[in-house]
Amino acid sequence: MAIDTSMPILVVDDYKTMIRIIRNLLKQLGFNEVDEATDGTEALQKLRAKKYGLIISDWNMEPMTGYELLRHVRSDERLCQTPFIMVTAESKTENVIAAKKAGVNNYIVKPFNAATLKSKIDAVFGQ
């Protein structure tokens, strides 16, 4: 079954340029309904107001990190099933393990391209 490219996606990053890059990559892959948040707190507000099919979040943000956002999402009964991809510039093994334990669906290390993003999204949705 094909992935629903009309599903809304929330991109969370405190760096506007990275949001624009991810938005453009998603557009190349056919995803057009992309919202953004600049930190975990703003993301939680948006997640409580609208149902998203996927969250793509940076790890390093202030005041709420992507890891803290992930933990909030996984502990929220209404949000806990939302697929979550973590993006980071660091490929530290302990971070990957911590994110996996917290329930992340996939992990992308920057820099990445549309093909990498597509393969990570495909893996999350069992393609």
In a domain, 90, yes or no: yes
On whether the CB atoms of residues 39 and 66 are closer than 8 A, the answer is no
Query: Could you read off the pLDDT of 25-39 as tens digits, one per residue?
Result: 999 999 999 999 999
Q: How many residues does the chain have?
A: 127
Arithmetic mean of pLDDT over the chain: 95
In a domain, 14, yes or no: no
Domain that holds residue 118: 39-124
Average pLDDT over residues 10-26: 97
In a domain, 51, yes or no: yes
Half-sphere exposure of 92 (CA within 13 A, CB side): 9
pLDDT of residue 127: 76
User: The CATH number of the domain where 116 resides is what?
Assistant: 3.40.50.2300
Q: What pTM, to 2 d.p., does this model score? A: 0.96
In a domain, 8, yes or no: no
In a domain, 118, yes or no: yes
For residue 90, pLDDT over 90 is answered with no
* Tally of domains in the chain: 1
- Give the confidence band of 1 by pLDDT, cuts at 50, 70, 90: low
Share of the chain above pLDDT 70, in %: 99
In a domain, 23, yes or no: no
Query: Could you read off the pLDDT of 41-75 as tens digits, one per residue?
Result: 999 999 999 999 999 999 999 999 999 999 999 99
d(CA 67, CA 104) in angstroms, rounded, equals: 9
